[in-house]
Amino acid sequence: MAQFTRGFGSRRRDADPDLPPGQYLTTDFPVLSAGPTPRIPLSEWSFSIRTETGETARWSWDEFTALPSEEVSTDIHCVTRWSKLGTSWRGVALDTLFEEVETSFDYVMAHSYGGYTTNVPLEDLLDGKAWIAYEFDGEPLDPEHGGPARLLVPHLYFWKSAKWVRGLVMQQHDDPGFWEQNGYHLRGDPWLEERYW
């Protein structure tokens, strides 16, 4: 039973069916990360996927951006409660990347330049659910927002969409990543309010 708060409610916003519970709309693009923004020259950038056998698929920037890319229009939801609707991205679908990868493991740890990690079940990355995005609103992705490239998993809270992503490592178990070790939920579905453990 919620506790009524005297005098609150006069400034309410219109409810929006696209907003998960507990979220509010923002029209700017907040920046949240745990440390300084890494800046990675494209000549030094690479992205890799490593499997349980140690086999590693790796792409340089030129190789990566030569892959078939998709335009993605989607809503994004941050665990700190802002949501931004109808954002526009370009990136490579994880389905495309995993065409070259053989694995029997069900979980992924995403690793970022700067040391950030986040764990995601593989099934949350496939079937058109996730991308490695390198453009936002038709422009190269700004370093503050994770450029050169970030993971984009819009159906989960945005801390799963690892900024400055450099690779994925397949893992047998759903071991927690950085924020998951620091109090956030192992999966993070905004519609289920999977915010904290």
Partner 1 sequence: MRTTGWLAARIAAVRPTTSHARVLTLDVPGWPGNDPGQHLDIRLTAEDGYQAERSYSIASSGPGERVELAVDTVPDGEVSPYLVDVAEVGDMLEVKGPLGAYFVWHESDPDPVQLVAGGSGIVPLLAMARAHDRSESPVPFRLLYSVRSPDDALYRDEILDLAGRSLDLTWAYTRAAPEGWPEPVGRLTPDRVAAATWPPARHPLTFICGPTRFVEAAADAMVAAGHDPARVRTERFGG
Chain residues that interact with partner 1, rule: CB under 8 A: 2-9, 11-13, 15, 22, 24, 26, 28, 30-38, 78, 80-82, 114-115, 144, 178-179, 181-183, 196-197
Q: Residue 111: helix, strand or coil by DSSP?
A: strand
Least Cβ distance, residue 55 to partner 1 (angstroms): 29
Closer of 172 and 181 to partner 1 (Cβ): 181
Closer of 115 and 128 to partner 1 (Cβ): 115
Closer of 123 and 144 to partner 1 (Cβ): 144
Q: 47: buried, middle or exposed (CB in 10 Å: 19+, 13-18, 0-12)?
A: buried
Report CA torsion sign: 9, 14, 19, 21. positive
Closer of 30 and 140 to partner 1 (Cβ): 30
Least Cβ distance, residue 94 to partner 1 (angstroms): 27
Least Cβ distance, residue 139 to partner 1 (angstroms): 18
Cα 176 to Cα 17, 180, 188, distances in angstroms: 31, 5, 12
Cα 142 to Cα 109, 115, 123, 146, 155, distances in angstroms: 23, 19, 28, 6, 22
